[in-house]
A = this chain, B = another copy of it.
Amino acid sequence: MPQPEAPDEAAVSDLVVANRILAAEGVLDGFGHVSMRDPRDPKCYLMSRSLAPALVTAADIVQHDLDNRPVRDEGHSLYYERWIHGEVYKARPEVNAIVHSHSPTVVPFASTKAPLRPILHNASFLGFGTPVFEIRNLVPNSDLMISTAALGKALAETLGPSADVVLLRGHGNVVVGPTIQITVFRAYYTEINARQQLNAMILGRDDVVYMNAGECATTDKIMQAVAGRPWDLWKRRVQREMRRAEVEDCL
């Protein structure tokens, strides 16, 4: 009988690092999740079992199919909102990584009429759309969470074919990208852009010069090309932190 194949080691390592980076940078707190499409099987994705992102290790990564079931049932409790991931991977074949966070400065944009727009070149991907998902239009008195396939599908529809970010009213946001590095970069700069846009709106609500569509298209290409630079920095920091914790846990 063939052994069930263990997931790609480099992919798992990147996914652990991605969880740790976004927790260290304040995009994720005790909640939120990061997934990547399985490089060995595009009909599956890798994501931690239900756990605070800052605690995720390689041993916690579970292979899910696109219906959000564990490929090998090892009895792990899984994220309550994993439906986000399966439905977005189905709808967007070019997407290979997804971050769901409650990124703190993005929530206010999700809950007012102020659209989140690109003010910083690193966040040029915001120019491809930042739709808001209002769960109340579908389910009254809900817990705001994406806890069914139908809600996952509706969310993927609001995200649409070209946006890289969708905001969830009263809740958080979902960011997608072609690689885990680029998606982490985008999740980080979504938060940074939100802070800078908020401050710009204080300085002069009607005066803010946002990036235009042409600038966004040109700039996003460059940003995808350089996303590895902050990744290398962040990765080194979280690896050092993980090693430090390991040493201390042995004391």
Interface residues of A (CB under 8 A from B): 29-31, 50-52, 54-55, 80, 102, 104-105, 107-109, 111-114, 118-122, 134, 136, 140-145, 169-171, 192, 195-204, 207-212, 214-215, 217-219, 221-222, 226, 229-234, 236, 240, 243-245, 247-249, 251
Per the bound structure, the CA–CA distance linking A171 and B222 in Å amounts to 13
Q: Are A219 and B143 in contact (CB under 8 A)?
A: yes
What are the residues of chain B within 8 A of A209 when measuring CB–CB? 111-112, 134, 169-170
Q: Are B219 and A52 in contact (CB under 8 A)?
A: no
What are the residues of chain B within 8 A of A197 when measuring CB–CB? 108
Known: A111-B200, A121-B171, A202-B202. 8 other contacts (CB 8 A): A50-B229, A107-B119, A107-B200, A111-B209, A136-B215, A198-B203, A240-B249, A247-B251
22 A-B residue pairs with CB within 8 Å? A30-B233, A31-B229, A50-B229, A51-B229, A52-B229, A52-B233, A55-B233, A104-B192, A108-B119, A108-B202, A108-B203, A112-B209, A119-B170, A120-B170, A121-B144, A121-B171, A141-B215, A142-B219, A170-B210, A202-B202, A240-B249, A244-B248
Q: Are B170 and A143 in contact (CB under 8 A)?
A: no
Q: Are B232 and A243 in contact (CB under 8 A)?
A: no
What are the residues of chain B within 8 A of A171 when measuring CB–CB? 120-121
Per the bound structure, the CA–CA distance linking A230 and B249 in Å amounts to 19
Task: Knowing A107-B119, A143-B218 are in contact, say whether A208-B112 is a contact too (CB < 8 A).
Answer: yes
The oligomer's copy count stands at: 4
Nearest neighbor of A215 in chain B, beta-carbon distance: B141
Going nearest first, the 6 A-B pairs with the smallest beta carbon separation are A30-B230, A141-B214, A108-B200, A52-B233, A108-B199, A114-B203
Q: Are B233 and A104 in contact (CB under 8 A)?
A: no
